[in-house]
Amino acid sequence: MAVEFNCPTCGGTLRAGDGPAGRLVRCGGCLSTLKVPDAPPLPPEDDATTDALHTRVELLPVAHPVANTVPVVNRRRPDSSPDEDERDDEREDAPTGRGRQFWISISTLAIILGTCACCGLAAVVLPDPTWEDYESPKGGFHVELPGKPTPDMAKRVRSQPDRKHDGVEGVHLWTRAENYIIAYRDLKPEKGKPKRTDSEILDDEIKAITSDPNIVHPVNRTKACEVSGFAAREFEYEFKNGGVVTGQVIVADTRIYVLVAGGQFTSAGSDNVRQFLDSFKITDPRLQAIAERRALAKKKENKERDSD
Protein backbone atom coordinates (compact mmCIF):
# COMPACT_ATOMS: atom_id res chain seq x y z
CA MET A 1 0.00 0.00 0.00
CA ALA A 2 1.39 3.40 -0.99
CA VAL A 3 2.12 5.83 1.88
CA GLU A 4 1.81 9.59 1.43
CA PHE A 5 3.66 11.98 3.73
CA ASN A 6 5.13 15.49 3.65
CA CYS A 7 8.81 16.40 3.39
CA PRO A 8 9.69 18.48 6.51
CA THR A 9 12.35 20.39 4.56
CA CYS A 10 10.55 21.56 1.37
CA GLY A 11 6.96 20.78 2.32
CA GLY A 12 6.38 18.62 -0.77
CA THR A 13 4.08 15.61 -0.67
CA LEU A 14 5.89 12.29 -1.10
CA ARG A 15 4.39 8.95 -2.04
CA ALA A 16 6.36 5.78 -1.29
CA GLY A 17 5.34 2.47 -2.85
CA ASP A 18 4.85 -0.91 -1.19
CA GLY A 19 7.52 -1.79 1.33
CA PRO A 20 8.28 -1.80 5.05
CA ALA A 21 7.88 1.37 7.07
CA GLY A 22 11.06 2.97 8.40
CA ARG A 23 13.11 2.51 5.23
CA LEU A 24 15.11 5.48 3.98
CA VAL A 25 13.95 7.47 0.96
CA ARG A 26 15.17 10.64 -0.73
CA CYS A 27 12.86 13.60 -1.47
CA GLY A 28 12.78 14.27 -5.19
CA GLY A 29 12.44 18.02 -4.61
CA CYS A 30 15.16 18.94 -2.09
CA LEU A 31 17.08 15.61 -1.99
CA SER A 32 16.65 15.36 1.80
CA THR A 33 16.90 11.86 3.26
CA LEU A 34 13.74 10.81 5.09
CA LYS A 35 12.19 7.83 6.84
CA VAL A 36 8.96 6.35 5.47
CA PRO A 37 6.32 6.55 8.25
CA ASP A 38 3.88 3.81 9.09
CA ALA A 39 0.80 3.59 6.85
CA PRO A 40 -2.40 4.96 8.48
CA PRO A 41 -4.80 2.22 9.60
CA LEU A 42 -7.66 1.39 7.25
CA PRO A 43 -11.22 2.26 8.46
CA PRO A 44 -13.27 -0.76 9.55
CA GLU A 45 -15.72 -2.11 7.03
CA ASP A 46 -18.90 -3.97 7.84
CA ASP A 47 -20.34 -6.74 5.70
CA ALA A 48 -23.05 -4.50 4.25
CA THR A 49 -20.53 -1.93 3.03
CA THR A 50 -18.30 -4.63 1.55
CA ASP A 51 -21.23 -6.24 -0.31
CA ALA A 52 -22.34 -2.87 -1.64
CA LEU A 53 -18.86 -2.12 -2.97
CA HIS A 54 -18.75 -5.45 -4.79
CA THR A 55 -22.29 -5.35 -6.23
CA ARG A 56 -22.69 -1.71 -7.29
CA VAL A 57 -20.75 -1.78 -10.52
CA GLU A 58 -22.03 0.69 -13.10
CA LEU A 59 -20.85 1.04 -16.67
CA LEU A 60 -21.00 4.54 -18.07
CA PRO A 61 -21.93 5.05 -21.75
CA VAL A 62 -19.11 6.02 -24.09
CA ALA A 63 -19.53 9.52 -25.54
CA HIS A 64 -19.02 9.90 -29.31
CA PRO A 65 -18.37 13.21 -31.09
CA VAL A 66 -21.38 14.71 -32.92
CA ALA A 67 -20.91 15.30 -36.63
CA ASN A 68 -20.57 18.93 -37.61
CA THR A 69 -23.91 19.95 -39.16
CA VAL A 70 -23.21 23.65 -39.40
CA PRO A 71 -23.18 24.63 -43.10
CA VAL A 72 -20.06 26.21 -44.48
CA VAL A 73 -20.76 29.80 -45.46
CA ASN A 74 -19.15 31.11 -48.63
CA ARG A 75 -17.43 34.29 -47.53
CA ARG A 76 -16.47 35.39 -51.02
CA ARG A 77 -17.29 39.01 -51.60
CA PRO A 78 -19.72 39.50 -54.47
CA ASP A 79 -17.52 42.10 -56.09
CA SER A 80 -14.22 40.24 -55.72
CA SER A 81 -12.17 39.03 -58.63
CA PRO A 82 -11.09 35.36 -59.06
CA ASP A 83 -7.49 36.27 -58.10
CA GLU A 84 -8.62 37.94 -54.89
CA ASP A 85 -10.86 34.99 -54.11
CA GLU A 86 -7.92 32.61 -54.50
CA ARG A 87 -5.75 34.69 -52.15
CA ASP A 88 -8.56 34.79 -49.59
CA ASP A 89 -8.89 31.01 -49.77
CA GLU A 90 -5.13 30.60 -49.17
CA ARG A 91 -5.32 32.87 -46.11
CA GLU A 92 -8.26 30.91 -44.71
CA ASP A 93 -6.47 27.57 -45.24
CA ALA A 94 -3.24 28.75 -43.53
CA PRO A 95 -2.78 27.43 -39.96
CA THR A 96 -3.50 29.92 -37.22
CA GLY A 97 -0.59 30.98 -34.96
CA ARG A 98 -0.47 30.31 -31.22
CA GLY A 99 -1.23 33.29 -29.05
CA ARG A 100 0.85 34.48 -26.11
CA GLN A 101 -1.71 33.24 -23.60
CA PHE A 102 -1.48 29.73 -25.06
CA TRP A 103 2.27 29.46 -24.46
CA ILE A 104 1.95 30.93 -20.95
CA SER A 105 -0.60 28.24 -20.14
CA ILE A 106 1.65 25.51 -21.55
CA SER A 107 4.66 26.76 -19.55
CA THR A 108 2.64 26.93 -16.33
CA LEU A 109 1.34 23.41 -16.87
CA ALA A 110 4.88 22.10 -17.47
CA ILE A 111 6.11 23.68 -14.23
CA ILE A 112 3.22 22.18 -12.25
CA LEU A 113 3.76 18.71 -13.73
CA GLY A 114 7.52 18.90 -13.10
CA THR A 115 6.98 19.85 -9.47
CA CYS A 116 4.52 17.01 -8.97
CA ALA A 117 6.90 14.53 -10.57
CA CYS A 118 9.71 15.58 -8.21
CA CYS A 119 7.81 16.00 -4.96
CA GLY A 120 4.45 14.30 -5.11
CA LEU A 121 4.54 11.27 -7.35
CA ALA A 122 7.38 9.15 -5.96
CA ALA A 123 10.12 8.88 -3.36
CA VAL A 124 13.39 7.21 -4.23
CA VAL A 125 14.04 4.10 -2.12
CA LEU A 126 17.68 3.95 -1.06
CA PRO A 127 19.52 0.74 -1.98
CA ASP A 128 21.54 -1.31 0.49
CA PRO A 129 25.24 -0.32 0.70
CA THR A 130 27.96 -2.34 -1.01
CA TRP A 131 30.45 -3.63 1.56
CA GLU A 132 34.19 -3.68 0.94
CA ASP A 133 37.14 -5.08 2.91
CA TYR A 134 39.48 -2.29 3.98
CA GLU A 135 43.05 -2.70 5.23
CA SER A 136 44.91 0.20 6.89
CA PRO A 137 48.71 -0.26 6.96
CA LYS A 138 49.15 2.99 8.89
CA GLY A 139 46.47 2.28 11.47
CA GLY A 140 47.22 -1.44 11.66
CA PHE A 141 43.66 -2.70 11.35
CA HIS A 142 41.19 -4.44 9.04
CA VAL A 143 37.50 -3.55 8.80
CA GLU A 144 34.50 -3.86 6.48
CA LEU A 145 33.20 -0.54 5.12
CA PRO A 146 29.79 0.06 3.48
CA GLY A 147 31.40 1.81 0.50
CA LYS A 148 34.68 3.16 -0.80
CA PRO A 149 36.77 5.05 1.81
CA THR A 150 36.25 8.82 1.96
CA PRO A 151 39.57 10.75 1.71
CA ASP A 152 38.66 13.66 4.04
CA MET A 153 37.16 11.81 7.00
CA ALA A 154 39.32 13.81 9.45
CA LYS A 155 37.16 16.88 8.68
CA ARG A 156 34.11 15.06 10.03
CA VAL A 157 35.62 14.42 13.47
CA ARG A 158 35.67 17.01 16.26
CA SER A 159 39.21 16.69 17.60
CA GLN A 160 40.16 17.83 21.11
CA PRO A 161 43.50 19.52 21.91
CA ASP A 162 44.64 16.76 24.27
CA ARG A 163 43.31 13.99 22.03
CA LYS A 164 44.66 14.77 18.59
CA HIS A 165 44.26 11.71 16.39
CA ASP A 166 47.18 10.31 14.43
CA GLY A 167 44.78 9.09 11.76
CA VAL A 168 41.07 9.14 10.87
CA GLU A 169 39.72 6.76 8.24
CA GLY A 170 36.31 5.51 7.16
CA VAL A 171 33.45 6.36 4.83
CA HIS A 172 30.68 8.97 4.67
CA LEU A 173 27.43 7.80 3.04
CA TRP A 174 25.75 11.03 1.92
CA THR A 175 22.71 9.14 0.60
CA ARG A 176 22.01 7.91 4.13
CA ALA A 177 23.59 10.77 6.13
CA GLU A 178 25.74 8.22 7.95
CA ASN A 179 29.41 8.12 9.01
CA TYR A 180 31.55 5.05 9.68
CA ILE A 181 34.74 6.27 11.36
CA ILE A 182 37.93 4.70 12.76
CA ALA A 183 40.18 7.15 14.64
CA TYR A 184 43.42 6.15 16.34
CA ARG A 185 46.32 7.67 18.24
CA ASP A 186 49.28 6.54 20.34
CA LEU A 187 49.23 7.45 24.02
CA LYS A 188 52.02 9.76 25.17
CA PRO A 189 53.84 9.03 28.46
CA GLU A 190 52.39 11.12 31.30
CA LYS A 191 55.32 12.32 33.41
CA GLY A 192 54.65 12.70 37.10
CA LYS A 193 51.30 10.87 36.89
CA PRO A 194 50.53 7.31 37.90
CA LYS A 195 49.89 4.90 35.09
CA ARG A 196 46.20 4.58 34.39
CA THR A 197 44.46 1.24 34.10
CA ASP A 198 42.66 0.22 30.91
CA SER A 199 39.32 0.76 32.66
CA GLU A 200 40.26 4.32 33.64
CA ILE A 201 41.40 5.10 30.10
CA LEU A 202 38.11 3.78 28.70
CA ASP A 203 36.10 5.93 31.13
CA ASP A 204 38.04 9.08 30.16
CA GLU A 205 37.72 8.40 26.43
CA ILE A 206 33.95 7.83 26.47
CA LYS A 207 33.45 10.94 28.61
CA ALA A 208 35.42 13.02 26.10
CA ILE A 209 33.65 11.54 23.07
CA THR A 210 30.16 12.23 24.47
CA SER A 211 30.88 15.82 25.58
CA ASP A 212 29.46 17.26 22.32
CA PRO A 213 26.69 19.81 23.16
CA ASN A 214 24.57 18.41 20.31
CA ILE A 215 24.23 15.09 22.12
CA VAL A 216 20.92 14.74 23.92
CA HIS A 217 21.64 11.53 25.85
CA PRO A 218 25.43 11.29 26.40
CA VAL A 219 25.38 7.55 27.09
CA ASN A 220 22.34 5.36 26.50
CA ARG A 221 24.28 2.20 27.32
CA THR A 222 27.82 0.85 27.75
CA LYS A 223 29.09 -2.71 27.58
CA ALA A 224 32.51 -4.14 28.37
CA CYS A 225 33.94 -6.27 25.57
CA GLU A 226 37.21 -7.52 24.10
CA VAL A 227 38.55 -6.79 20.61
CA SER A 228 41.57 -8.65 19.21
CA GLY A 229 42.66 -9.59 22.74
CA PHE A 230 42.47 -6.05 24.17
CA ALA A 231 40.08 -4.40 26.62
CA ALA A 232 37.28 -2.44 24.95
CA ARG A 233 33.96 -0.82 25.74
CA GLU A 234 30.93 -0.35 23.52
CA PHE A 235 28.74 2.74 23.94
CA GLU A 236 25.69 4.38 22.40
CA TYR A 237 24.39 7.96 22.42
CA GLU A 238 21.69 10.03 20.74
CA PHE A 239 21.88 13.38 18.92
CA LYS A 240 19.30 16.18 19.08
CA ASN A 241 18.25 15.40 15.50
CA GLY A 242 17.18 11.93 16.59
CA GLY A 243 20.09 9.96 15.15
CA VAL A 244 21.68 7.17 17.19
CA VAL A 245 25.45 6.60 17.15
CA THR A 246 27.09 3.38 18.35
CA GLY A 247 30.82 3.01 18.91
CA GLN A 248 33.68 1.21 20.59
CA VAL A 249 36.83 2.35 22.38
CA ILE A 250 39.74 -0.11 22.37
CA VAL A 251 42.87 0.21 24.53
CA ALA A 252 45.53 -1.73 22.60
CA ASP A 253 48.56 -1.30 24.87
CA THR A 254 49.71 2.25 24.05
CA ARG A 255 47.30 2.83 21.16
CA ILE A 256 43.69 3.98 21.36
CA TYR A 257 41.17 3.01 18.67
CA VAL A 258 37.81 4.82 18.55
CA LEU A 259 35.08 3.46 16.26
CA VAL A 260 31.82 5.37 15.75
CA ALA A 261 29.00 4.63 13.29
CA GLY A 262 25.56 6.07 12.63
CA GLY A 263 23.80 9.23 11.54
CA GLN A 264 20.61 11.27 11.53
CA PHE A 265 18.34 8.43 10.43
CA THR A 266 20.17 5.51 12.07
CA SER A 267 18.19 3.59 14.66
CA ALA A 268 19.50 1.58 17.59
CA GLY A 269 20.51 -1.95 16.65
CA SER A 270 21.25 -1.10 13.00
CA ASP A 271 22.50 -4.15 11.06
CA ASN A 272 24.96 -2.00 9.10
CA VAL A 273 26.47 -0.53 12.27
CA ARG A 274 26.72 -3.99 13.82
CA GLN A 275 28.52 -5.41 10.78
CA PHE A 276 30.99 -2.52 10.82
CA LEU A 277 31.86 -2.89 14.52
CA ASP A 278 32.06 -6.70 14.50
CA SER A 279 34.37 -6.76 11.46
CA PHE A 280 37.12 -4.64 13.09
CA LYS A 281 40.37 -6.53 13.73
CA ILE A 282 43.81 -5.25 14.82
CA THR A 283 46.52 -6.35 12.35
CA ASP A 284 49.55 -4.43 13.65
CA PRO A 285 52.25 -7.14 14.24
CA ARG A 286 53.56 -5.43 17.39
CA LEU A 287 50.12 -5.22 18.95
CA GLN A 288 49.25 -8.77 17.91
CA ALA A 289 52.40 -10.04 19.69
CA ILE A 290 51.44 -8.14 22.85
CA ALA A 291 47.93 -9.60 22.74
CA GLU A 292 49.35 -13.13 22.41
CA ARG A 293 51.68 -12.63 25.40
CA ARG A 294 48.82 -11.32 27.50
CA ALA A 295 46.64 -14.28 26.53
CA LEU A 296 49.37 -16.77 27.51
CA ALA A 297 50.00 -14.99 30.82
CA LYS A 298 46.30 -14.97 31.62
CA LYS A 299 45.99 -18.65 30.74
CA LYS A 300 48.94 -19.48 33.01
CA GLU A 301 47.49 -17.41 35.84
CA ASN A 302 44.13 -19.16 35.59
CA LYS A 303 45.82 -22.56 35.55
CA GLU A 304 47.81 -21.77 38.71
CA ARG A 305 44.72 -20.46 40.47
CA ASP A 306 42.77 -23.60 39.59
CA SER A 307 45.59 -25.84 40.86
CA ASP A 308 45.54 -24.10 44.24
Q: Who wins on pLDDT, 159 or 286?
A: 286
Determine the average pLDDT of the residues in 59-86. 51
Maximum mean pLDDT: which of 125-139, 215-229, 274-288: 274-288
The answer regarding whether domain 132-305 maps to CATH 3.40.1000.10 reads yes
Per-domain residue ranges for the chain? 1-39+101-126, 132-305
Q: How far apart are CA 110 and CA 215, in angstroms?
A: 45
Determine the average pLDDT of the residues in 10-19. 73
Region at 171 (left for phi over 0; alpha for psi -120 to 50; beta for the rest): beta
Q: How far apart are CA 110 and CA 99, in angstroms?
A: 17
Determine the average pLDDT of the residues in 179-191. 91
What is the average pLDDT value for the chain, to the nearest integer?
A: 78
Would you say residue 211 has pLDDT above 70?
yes
Kindly list the distances between the CA atom of residue 193 and the CA atoms of 188, 189, 196, 204, 241, in Å, as whole numbers in the listed order.
12, 9, 8, 15, 40
Of the given ranges (52-66, 202-216, 233-247, 262-276), which has the lowest mean pLDDT? 52-66
CB 185 within 8 A of CB 163: yes
Report, in angstroms and rounded to the nearest whole number, the Rg of the chain calculated over CA atoms.
35
Q: pLDDT per residue over 89-145, tens digit each? A: 555 555 555 667 766 767 776 665 554 444 344 334 667 899 999 999 999 999 999
Of the given ranges (46-50, 89-93, 257-261, 277-281), which has the lowest mean pLDDT? 46-50
